[in-house]
């Protein structure tokens, strides 16, 4: 499913709200999610997010950040599969944050869901960061987010990033190599690559 015609990484979408509920069956569990105009992948789980979810650890109990969470599938599904994990979810888009909070209640899941421009309102370090970056925001903005996220990754933590080959996966992997000791391709499907990055190189953690 393509993003809404209005850029989904804006703070306040101008498109008229029309939230609709749809169902996802994932790893033996049924989820109910509301999506809306002005958010990424309205009405469906996009391929990149599916590939990212498959690549994430199946067993996790630390602190996780779903960066740019949209309407919340990654963070909430990870919480459902790993009830002892502490999940933080963030997005710059007010409508997306509202939907993510609504979806947490809909699926009876607990998470800290925050409005944040990148890492601006996020405190502390995370053991796991999952990120499907807003490619349409441009390389400069996306690479800035990579750098900022690297500074809030715990020493033994991992950041998982999904990028489509046609949208610059190779160049992104090269840049990530300047931020992390290890950048491994852990999944490839439908043109999407998932990179697992570990060991921040800038000495902040």
pLDDT digits (tens, 9 = 90+) for 18-58: 688 989 998 899 999 999 887 876 667 889 999 999 999 99
How crowded is residue 168: how many other Cβ atoms within 10 Å of its Cβ?
17
Contact 35, 11 (CB under 8 A): no
Q: Return d(Cα 147, Cα 109) in angstroms, integer.
A: 30
Inside any domain, residue 16: no
pLDDT (0 to 100) of residue 36: 87
Average pLDDT of the chain is: 89
pLDDT (0 to 100) of residue 136: 82
Inside any domain, residue 192: yes
pLDDT (0 to 100) of residue 2: 40
pLDDT (0 to 100) of residue 30: 94
Inside any domain, residue 105: yes
Q: Which residues contact 154 (CB under 8 A, 6 or more apart)?
A: 62, 63, 125, 126, 127, 205
143 confidence band (pLDDT: 50, 70, 90): very high
Number of domains in the chain: 1
Per-residue pLDDT, averaged over 68-94, amounts to 96
Burial class (CB in 10 A: 0-12, 13-18, 19+), 149: buried
Inside any domain, residue 88: yes
Q: Which residue has the tokens 């909430």?
A: 76
Give, rounded to a whole angstrom, the gap between the first and last alpha carbons of the chain: 37
Per-residue pLDDT, averaged over 48-77, amounts to 96
Tell me, yes or no, if the pTM score tops 0.85.
yes
4 confidence band (pLDDT: 50, 70, 90): very low
Inside any domain, residue 123: yes
Structure tokens at 203: 């000495």
Structural domain boundaries enclosing 111? 46-200
pLDDT (0 to 100) of residue 16: 65
Inside any domain, residue 66: yes
Inside any domain, residue 32: no
Q: 196 vs 205, which has greater pLDDT?
A: 196
Give 87-135 pLDDT, tens digit per residue: 999 999 999 999 999 999 999 999 999 999 999 999 999 999 999 998 8
Find the CATH number of the domain harbouring 102.
Answer: 3.40.50.150
Q: Return d(Cα 105, Cα 199) in angstroms, integer.
A: 35
pLDDT (0 to 100) of residue 38: 74
Inside any domain, residue 90: yes
């Amino acid at each position: 499913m393509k993003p809404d015609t209005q850029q989904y990484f804006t703070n306040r979408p101008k498109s008229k709200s029309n939230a609709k509920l749809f169902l996802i069956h994932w790893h033996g569990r049924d989820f109910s999610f509301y999506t809306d105009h002005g958010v990424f992948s309205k009405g469906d789980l996009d391929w990149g997010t599916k590939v990212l979810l498959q690549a994430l650890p199946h067993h996790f109990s630390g602190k996780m950040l779903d960066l740019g969470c949209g309407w919340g599938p990654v963070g909430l599904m990870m919480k459902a599969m790993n009830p002892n994990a502490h999940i933080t979810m963030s997005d710059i888009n007010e409508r997306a944050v509202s939907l993510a909070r609504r979806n947490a209640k809909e699926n009876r899941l607990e998470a800290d869901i925050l409005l944040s421009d990148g890492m601006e309102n996020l405190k502390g370090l995370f053991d796991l960061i999952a990120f499907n970056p807003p490619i349409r925001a441009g390389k400069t903005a996306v690479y800035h987010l990579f750098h900022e996220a690297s500074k809030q990754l715990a020493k033994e933590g991992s950041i998982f990033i999904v990028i489509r080959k046609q949208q610059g996966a190779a160049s992104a992997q090269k840049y990530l190599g300047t931020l992390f000791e290890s950048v491994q391709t852990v999944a490839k499907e439908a043109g999407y690559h998932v990179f697992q990055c570990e060991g921040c190189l800038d000495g902040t953690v």
